[in-house]
Amino acid sequence: MYIFCVNSTVKNQSEGNYLGQYTWIQMEKQNSELYLQNCYIIQQNERLRKKAQLLNQENQALLSELKQKLSKAKINTNNPSPNISSASAPGPDSSDKS
């Protein structure tokens, strides 16, 4: 059961649907304030969504760049470049046979 103030008198809601002019104005004021708060929140969400999209694109670009670098590094370790001389590291055939 709710009790509303109607024109400086107390009226029980169960006695009727009349809320009174004062209560109606207060409800409209609160409704307007909540509407403005919702609009502000929607605007913030849109800005944050756009920012998140940009960050995601940046992360995807960085991830792609990292994968390319790792792929190149893997290729370089599997196939050493020709300017590395084979004399720098003795192999099993170069052991001294005296």
pLDDT digits (tens, 9 = 90+) for 52-84: 999 999 999 999 999 999 998 888 887 765 565
Answer whether residue 88 is part of any domain.
no
**Does a structural domain hold residue 5?**
no
The enclosing H or E element of 5 equals strand 3-6
Asked if the structure places residue 7 within a domain, the reply is: no
What does the alpha-carbon distance between residue 29 and residue 50 come to, in Å, rounded to a whole number? 32
pLDDT at 1: 40
Q: Does residue 89 sit within a domain?
A: no
Count the domains in the chain. 1
Give a yes or no: residue 40 inside a domain: yes
Let me know if residue 93 belongs to a domain.
Answer: no
**Domain membership of residue 67 as a residue range:** 20-75
- Flag whether pLDDT at 39 surpasses 50: yes
55 close to 47: Cβ distance less than 8 angstroms: no
Task: Give me the pLDDT at residue 83, please.
Answer: 60
Class of residue 19 by CB neighbours under 10 A (exposed 0-12, middle 13-18, buried 19+): middle
Q: What is the pLDDT of residue 50?
A: 98
Per DSSP, 9 falls in state: E
Tell me what the pLDDT averaged over the chain comes to: 77
- pTM for the model stands at 0.50
- The answer to the question of residue 9 being in a domain is no
The maximal CA–CA distance of the chain, rounded, in angstroms, is: 119
Instruction: Give the model's pLDDT for residue 23.
Output: 87
